[in-house]
Structure 1
Amino acid sequence: MDNELITTTRWWKTNWKWFLPTCIITIATALLVTRTINGTVTDFAQAYSDNSLYNKAIQKGNANLRVKEVLGAIEPIDKLVILEGDTKYTNDNTAVTITIRVKGSKANGKMDISAYENGTEWEYKKITVRIKQPKEEIAIIN
């Protein structure tokens, strides 16, 4: 019987070539996703809590004759509509661009709002309503 010495190599020495890059890629991806999700979640939460932003925009939409003609009266939105749309705050949360789904008595559409905060009030730079059937974009504020 041979008395050969069996040597074993350590796990790290054998596997470092795939383990190290995998760890680096995982950490980098986690940081990127966390940073992106954190900003998005913060934007949605702020828009969710700021009723006056979209309620005043809907009032302005309801005052537009073309919107009334095509959509009918726009109903107050359900707060969960904020999560379906797109929200982006900039300039230390004093400017916002938001898209929400609106439901009228005749048809549905999307409302795009661009506004900035002036003290405690929102000043609207742009409000448009987009409708699929018939395909039309109604400018409420340009």
Structure 2
Amino acid sequence: MQDDDYQPKKNWWDRNWKWFVPTGCLSLIVLFCLFIGGLFYGVTSMMTNSDAYKEAMNKAQHNELVIQKLGSGIENDGMVSGNISTSDNTGNCNLEIPIKGSKGTGILFVVAHKKVKWNFDELSVYVNSTDEEINLLEK
């Protein structure tokens, strides 16, 4: 055996970099996406679990004119947008909630402030098919 035939054994990095680099990059991308998804889920859950959201949806679901225009079984139809901020017994809420029923779709607009309990400044449903707005605060 000659000394010229001897090749030193490659180190771990030289043997494995071709699969390690793409796997490492992909892992970082997946972790970032999971973080953003978790953050999005947390914010969305905070909005949909709020008393203002629940009370507004309840009023829309039991309003005869909304049921007549959108149909029965009114429920959320997508991503809620807007903001809610609360601190102890005070807070503000400004939400747009896409809703749907058996006959059509609409948007529930909610503007409220909280002093111990939520008081609605605006609560209306925009009916997509007729461009009609139904004020839920009118008696």
- Give the alignment's TM-score, normalised by structure 1: 0.60
CA contact (8 A) 1:113 1:124 kept: no
Query: Paired residue for 1:111?
Result: 106
Summarize deviations over 1:66-88 as a string: whole Å, max 9, x none.
x73x55xx4354xxx43x42212
Q: Between Structure 1 and Structure 2, how many residues are aligned?
A: 123
Unaligned 5+ residue runs, structure 1?
none
Letter in 2 for 1:51: K
Query: Paired residue for 2:89?
Result: none
Unaligned 5+ residue runs, structure 2?
87-92
SS at match of 1:97: strand
Q: Matched residues in 1 for 2:45 and 2:98: separation?
A: 11
CA contact (8 A) 1:85 1:101 kept: no
Q: Matched residues in 2 for 1:51 and 1:76: separation?
A: 15
Query: Paired residue for 1:34?
Result: 35
For residues 1-142 of structure 1, what are the structure 2 equivalents within 5 Å?
1-2=1-2, 4-16=5-17, 19-20=20-21, 22-40=23-41, 42-44=43-45, 46-47=47-48, 50-60=53-63, 62-63=64-65, 68=68, 70-71=69-70, 74-77=71-74, 81-82=75-76, 84-92=77-85, 94-103=93-102, 108-119=103-114, 120-121=117-118, 122-124=120-122, 126-131=124-129, 136-141=130-135
Letter in 2 for 1:85: G
Q: Matched residues in 2 for 1:123 and 1:54: separation?
A: 15
CA contact (8 A) 1:128 1:138 kept: yes
RMSD: 3.4
Q: Matched residues in 1 for 2:78 and 2:49: separation?
A: 11
Q: Matched residues in 2 for 1:99 and 1:34: separation?
A: 25
Shift of 1:109: 0.9
Summarize deviations over 1:31-72 as a string: whole Å, max 9, x none.
234323432354146425643121213445x247xx73x55x
Q: Matched residues in 2 for 1:117 and 1:31: separation?
A: 34
